[in-house]
């Protein structure tokens, strides 16, 4: 039985939620949408909380953490959620909707990451249940795979951005190697190099979203090479194709962590050609990984790519193209 909402139960639309994966060229799409009329463009709200979780997975089971540290981790999510609600409220106050980007990993309850990594651990910790302001907890359901309430997610128009794993994953690992990890065997790497979170949330939306707000998928290749696909995406999601940017000024990133992930887009003045998967030869790429990181790490990246391909192909087959949904 479909879970798609009847018209009378559709929550008021509050914006667009760009749901992405690190190194999927999501900063490119967000930049292209910066001047959308009627929208307030926002940066990540759960980045700090999500990355704090993933970057501490190696510490061991949560039950072994000091109580103060566990509370601090969950408090980061609560603070990020408060900031997200503030953004939505501020946009509404200004007569606007919000355009917000977040990596799907960072929406997940941190206790779920730890229980998956340490399945024999039984910390007996309550899951992170976030509720909307002015909504009684008893009526704020959560059936989705994130830490956010259904009512919020269903009030947003979701756009899932994807990119070929053989391009995303080595790029992300290269960024992580600058200051966060040493090898592909570390928990942080496995937690990020997957598309399972995007697929799970996409599937939830397909059975719960109102018919007027179905989830859309866009591939990085189409963003870079197909203005028609971008136009079609705008038509599907209530954005203005006429206000999509294809040129902008260079910028500087001040946050040292975010700088690692924003260097390409901030140094650009438009779409950088040659970063798509049109000429991708995965076998040749694997040889490059061996030369860059050695056999063990190259095999690790290759394994993560192989494991993600089913999810990528599933989402890719549902993507928006220049004329229709493929």
Model confidence pLDDT, tens digit, residues 263-321: 565 556 666 677 788 889 999 999 999 999 999 999 999 999 999 999 999 999 999 99
By C-alpha distance, which of 74, 4, 13, 16 is closest to 216?
A: 16
State the sign of the Cα–Cα–Cα–Cα dihedral 60, 62, 66, 69. Answer: positive
CATH number, domain 12-165+197-250+312-316, options 3.40.50, 3.40.1130, 3.10.450, 2.160.20? 3.40.50
How many angstroms separate the Cα of 274 from the Cα of each of 32, 81, 286?
18, 37, 19
The pLDDT of residue 326? 47
User: What is the model's pLDDT at position 2?
Assistant: 45
pTM of the shown model: 0.90
CA–CA separation, 294 vs 286, rounded Å? 10
Q: Report the C-alpha gap between 11 and 96 in whole angstroms.
A: 16
93-127 tens-digit pLDDT: 999 999 999 999 999 998 889 988 988 776 566 67
Overall average pLDDT of the 65-71 stretch? 91
pLDDT for 127:
72
Give the tens place of pLDDT for each residue, 176-213.
Answer: 999 899 999 999 999 999 999 999 999 999 999 999 99
* Cα–Cα distance, 268 to 177 (Å, whole number): 23
Mean pLDDT, residues 32-54: 93
**Structure confidence at residue 191 (pLDDT):** 95
Contact (Cβ atoms closer than 8 angstroms) between residue 203 and residue 315: no
SS (H, E, C) the chain: CCCCCCHHHCCCCCEEEEEECCCCCHHHHHHHCCCCCCEEEECCCCHHHHHHHHCCHHHCCHHHCCHHHHHHHHHHHHHHHHHHHHHHHHHHHCCCEEEEEEEHHHHCCHHHHHHHHCCCCCCCCCCCCCCCCCCCHHHCCCCCCCCCCHHHHCCEEEEEEECCHHHHHHHHHHHHHCCCCCCCCCHHHHHHCCCHHHHHHHHHHHHHCCHHHCCEEEEHHHHHHCHHHHHHHHHHHCCCHHHCCCECCCCCCCCHHHHHHHHHHHCCCECCCCCCCCCCCHHHHHHHHHHHHCHHHHHHHHHHHHHHHHHHHHHHCCCECCCCEC
Select the more confidently predicted residue: 273 or 262: 273
| Domain definitions of the chain by residue range | 12-165+197-250+312-316
The answer to whether the beta carbons of residues 107 and 53 sit under 8 Å apart is: no
Which region among 78-92, 207-221, 266-280 has the lowest average model confidence (pLDDT)?
266-280
pLDDT level of residue 62 (50, 70, 90 thresholds): confident
92, 95, 319 from 99: Cα distances, Å: 12, 13, 20
Of 170 and 322, which is predicted with more confidence?
A: 170
Higher per-residue confidence, 222 vs 141: 222
Tokens of 314: 């599933």
7-26 confidence digits (pLDDT tens): 556 789 999 999 999 999 88
> Distances from the Cα of 16 to the Cαs of 99, 175, 250, 315, in angstroms?
5, 28, 25, 19
Residue 1 has pLDDT above 50, yes or no: no
Q: Which CA distances in Å does 273 have to 29, 225, 228, 278, 281?
A: 14, 8, 17, 11, 17
Band (141; pLDDT cuts 50, 70, 90) = confident
């Amino acid at each position: 039985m479909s879970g798609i909402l009847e018209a009378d139960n559709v929550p008021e639309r509050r914006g667009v939620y760009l749901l992405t994966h690190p190194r999927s060229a999501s900063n490119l799409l967000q930049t292209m949408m910066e001047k959308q009329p009627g929208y307030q463009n926002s940066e990540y709200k759960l980045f700090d909380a999500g990355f704090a979780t993933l970057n501490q997975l190696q510490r061991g089971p949560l039950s072994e953490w000091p109580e103060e540290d566990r509370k601090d981790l969950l408090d980061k999510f609560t603070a990020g959620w408060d900031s997200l609600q503030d953004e939505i409220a501020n946009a509404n106050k200004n007569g606007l909707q919000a355009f917000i980007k977040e990596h799907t990993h960072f929406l997940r309850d941190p206790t779920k990451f730890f229980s998956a990594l340490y399945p024999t651990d039984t910390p007996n910790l309550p899951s992170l249940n976030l509720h909307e302001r002015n909504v009684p907890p008893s009526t704020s359901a959560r059936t989705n795979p994130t830490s956010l309430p259904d009512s919020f997610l269903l009030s947003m128009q979701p756009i899932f951005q994807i990119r070929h794993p053989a391009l995303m994953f080595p790029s992300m690992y290269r960024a992580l190697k600058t200051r966060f990890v040493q090898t592909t065997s570390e928990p942080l790497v496995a937690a990020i190099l997957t598309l399972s979170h995007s697929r799970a949330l996409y599937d939830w939306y397909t059975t719960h979203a109102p018919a007027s707000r179905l989830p859309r998928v866009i591939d990085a290749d189409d963003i870079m090479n197909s203005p028609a696909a971008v136009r079609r995406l705008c038509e599907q999601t209530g954005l203005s194709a006429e206000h999509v940017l294809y040129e902008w000024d260079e910028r500087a990133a001040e946050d040292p962590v975010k700088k690692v992930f924003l260097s390409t887009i901030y140094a650009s003045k438009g779409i950088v050609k040659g970063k798509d998967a049109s000429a991708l030869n995965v076998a040749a790429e694997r040889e490059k990984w061996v030369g860059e990181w050695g056999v063990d790490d190259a095999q690790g990246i290759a394994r993560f790519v192989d494991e993600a391909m089913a999810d990528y192909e599933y989402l890719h087959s549902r993507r928006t193209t220049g004329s229709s949904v493929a």
